A = this chain, B = another copy of it.
């Protein structure tokens, strides 16, 4: 059994930004030497997420508009009484998901034709991290 751990670091320019990370995840899988197994890709901060969906800029805008409707910024959240202003970021990441696990088959990510992995930042402009944990043989 083999394991391998990588950390991806992000400092986005905007507060909210979706970044494609499929290539970085694939590179970690290659580095691990694992032929059959799984890779966990998980946000280590609670105002960011990781999800799989389409690499199409219109749909990414649709996701962002939709999240703003379901979990708006600027409401009088209780969390803001602590001095924070990012309660909406915690809610938005909950909708998009914290993490994905991808299968590894024949030494590569076993993805469908349109699957791309994204880092979803909802409170950026500072250094934040994603863990990539590979396990298999």
- Decide: B112 and A53 in contact? CB cutoff 8 A: no
For chain A, what secondary structure do more than half of its interface residues adopt (helix, strand, loop), or is it mixed? mixed
What's the nearest-Cβ distance from chain B to residue A9, in Å?
12
Within 8 Å by CB of A95, from B37, B90, B94, B131, lies B94
Within 8 Å by CB of A46, from B37, B81, B114, lies B114
- Decide: B94 and A82 in contact? CB cutoff 8 A: no
**Chain B contacts of A98 at CB under 8 A?**
51-52, 97, 100
- Decide: B97 and A100 in contact? CB cutoff 8 A: no
What's the nearest-Cβ distance from chain B to residue A81, in Å?
6
Closest to A128 in B: B112
Within 8 Å by CB of A52, from B46, B59, B82, lies B46
- Decide: B63 and A82 in contact? CB cutoff 8 A: no
13 A-B contacts (beta carbon < 8 Å) = A42-B102, A46-B53, A46-B112, A46-B114, A53-B90, A56-B79, A58-B81, A59-B78, A62-B79, A62-B91, A63-B90, A94-B96, A101-B101
